[in-house]
Structure 1
Amino acid sequence: MNWSRRLINPVIDKEFRLRMRSTRSMLSVLLYILALGAVAMGFIYLFLYLGQRGGQQRFDPQMSQMMFYVLSFAQLVLIAFMAPALTAGVISSEREKQTLSMLLTTQQSSSTIVLSKLVSSLSFMTLIVLSTLPIYSIVFLYGGISPKQLVSVFGFYLFVMLLLGALGVMFSTLFKRTIVAIIVTYGAGLIIFLVTGLLYLFLLGIEQRNMYQTGQPPAGSYSWVGYVLGLNPAGALMSLFDPSFSKQAFLVQGGNLNSKAPIELWLEFFIVYAVVIVGALWIAIRNIRPVARRKRKDKAVLEAPQGEEPTGSGA
């Protein structure tokens, strides 16, 4: 009982009851599974139909592997749309309902409140993602995918949800209105998912054009532009599917494929955005109690000697 009280505090318990027991939650899970199932059935029907027209009537492991890629990227897009909506209003909605002050007067610390809100929001998204496992079981009927790949992909999903959730909680703490926090969170997600990929293509085109103009391959076997693709979730996910994709991302024509890539794209993605997650949560925890910060600042000003600036008052 003591362990359950430590792991499930009153904030998490309340959020679980509100999120998991509503009709809207049940419909959200149902619609999510139907959407991903429609993608799987549409893929099978499309390729079987085209295979019959081309004289091929079997669904081989190569087609099964391609279907796994399509399902994985489709689910990544769905996570990008749903995760910000679930987390960007967890603090600002409490402020709009004028219940944040009551929450802050409890014995729960700032870190407990922020992390509990994040965990409760992402737990529902995790439930939705795990509920799609029966759809992925279709892939194992035809082979081409190992259980290790499936586990690594779902682990990648959890990390992406944590990233978007941390950004959503941070913006929910910084902005007073929920709609503003949601818009800014979607904007940050757009930069992570779309702008990084377009920036990679743009910089890669510049590198290749410079190489064609000079007629010489770039210095070294690989170009630095691959680091930009490592910031994109799609590029990191593709490097989990195919280890050689990291080499191709850094390669500019004239490079040597026999050498190793400077870093795996998925590893770069985890390292960089782990720092972003920690920073976002730290900002959220620091800003959830603005009154306490002002009191500390005023106390430092009063205790400082006359004519001297208080140290650390701008923190």
Structure 2
Amino acid sequence: MMMNPVLRRETKTTLRSWKMFAILTVYVAIVALGAILFLYGTMFNSYNYSFDPEQMTYMYVVLCAMQMGLMLLAAPAMTAGCISGERERQTLDLLLMTKMSSLSIVIGKLMSSIATLVLIMIATLPVFAIAFYFGGVTIISLLVMMLYIMITTCMACSISIFFSCIFKKTVVSIVVVYLLIGGVFCFGTLIAVFLQQSLHWTMYQTSPSLAFPLTILSANPGVGFFSLIDNQLGTNVASDLFYRYASQNTTINTIVQHYWIVNTVFNIVVSFLFVLLSAHFINPVRNKK
């Protein structure tokens, strides 16, 4: 099977650059520093100067949260310049003149960014091995978590490429992606749910339906992340968010317990949608013919 030419070129140029190894080193150092600080705080706390192996499950949560946050920060920064960067270097027209379709170009750029981010994630796996040493977390749980983070990262990369096709400047694309993912998906959905639940309780003095929260929070990667953590460790972070005002039933309980799957489906659908939109907007002249 022939490899995508854009993916092949981007992979070669990326791996030959010293910037890639600098980014990899800094990223792993940040994750390792988080693990060291957690171990230090656990072993030398101010109460009894003892070590509790059960605390290693919380280390797993901290490392996964760092991985999730850093990936959502790195994805737009590494992807939002894929198309706008070509435009700034005045090489986009040459790329569009080739026999490759617009969709192939977009997929090549997307897969190049995803491959780089996967490499970075793999490099951090030895740090996660610390949690395995003390038990409490299985390799299956880690693989499922990494897969979920990767799907969420693909969603962020797809959105980044779309805005890279829309805006001429890379900086503008990055800022807009951060505002959409952070301002709308993460915080905007939580604010909307809080306002809806509060207004319903104030007006009707009854428990509101969970239909609105279950729908709008499907876009929130943080809720999906903690739902998966709840599923793996038996905590109740995400479920407490849903049941703060509303009542429970068997169907709702099942959905809430596996809400990370709902968020995963949302991320996959959004990824496909923005890839298709990117292929349409990358070359409006060709699409008009």
Match 1:148 to one of 136, 140, 155: 140
Larger radius of gyration: 1
Determine the C-alpha separation between the residues in 1 that align with 2:90 and 2:247: 60
1:47 lines up with 2:35 in the alignment:
no
In structure 2, the partner of 1:89 is 81
SS at match of 1:91: helix
1:185 lines up with 2:180 in the alignment:
no
1:106 lines up with 2:98 in the alignment:
yes
Q: Choose between structure 1 and 2 for higher RCO, CA contacts under 8 A separated by at least 6 residues.
A: 2
- Residue pairs, 1:1-315, within 5 angstroms: 3=1, 6=2, 8-50=3-45, 53-55=46-48, 57-61=50-54, 63-190=55-182, 191-207=184-200, 209=202, 214=205, 216-218=206-208, 222=210, 224-243=212-231, 247-253=239-245, 255-256=247-248, 260-261=252-253, 263=255, 264-294=258-288, 296=289
In structure 2, the partner of 1:304 is none
Determine the C-alpha separation between the residues in 2 that align with 1:224 and 1:21: 48
What are the Cα deviations for residues 24-52 of structure 1, in whole angstroms up to 9, with x where unaligned?
110100000100111111011012111xx
Determine the C-alpha separation between the residues in 1 that align with 2:68 and 2:62: 10
TM-score by length of 1: 0.82
CA contact (8 A) 1:59 1:142 kept: no
CA contact (8 A) 1:224 1:250 kept: no
Superposition deviation, residue 233 in structure 1: 1.0
Say if 1:187 and 1:246 are closer, same or farther in 2 by CA, change over 3 A: closer
TM-score by length of 2: 0.89
Say if 1:187 and 1:259 are closer, same or farther in 2 by CA, change over 3 A: closer
Superposition deviation, residue 182 in structure 1: 1.7
Determine the C-alpha separation between the residues in 2 that align with 1:89 and 1:289: 16
SS at match of 2:168: coil
Determine the C-alpha separation between the residues in 1 that align with 2:47 and 2:125: 32
Corresponding letter in the other structure for 1:184: V
SS at match of 1:225: helix
What are the Cα deviations for residues 37-95 of structure 1, in whole angstroms up to 9, with x where unaligned?
11111011012111xx322512322x111111111111111111110011111011111
Say if 1:148 and 1:207 are closer, same or farther in 2 by CA, change over 3 A: farther
Determine the C-alpha separation between the residues in 2 that align with 1:254 and 1:182: 37
Unaligned runs of 5+ in 1: 297-315
Deviates more, 1:181-190 or 1:196-205: 196-205
Superposition deviation, residue 186 in structure 1: 1.6
SS at match of 1:242: helix
Superposition deviation, residue 257 in structure 1: 6.5
Determine the C-alpha separation between the residues in 2 that align with 1:197 and 1:134: 34
Superposition deviation, residue 113 in structure 1: 0.6
Corresponding letter in the other structure for 1:236: G
Determine the C-alpha separation between the residues in 1 that align with 2:211 and 2:275: 33
Determine the C-alpha separation between the residues in 2 that align with 1:197 and 1:253: 14
CA contact (8 A) 1:208 1:252 kept: no
Unaligned runs of 5+ in 2: none
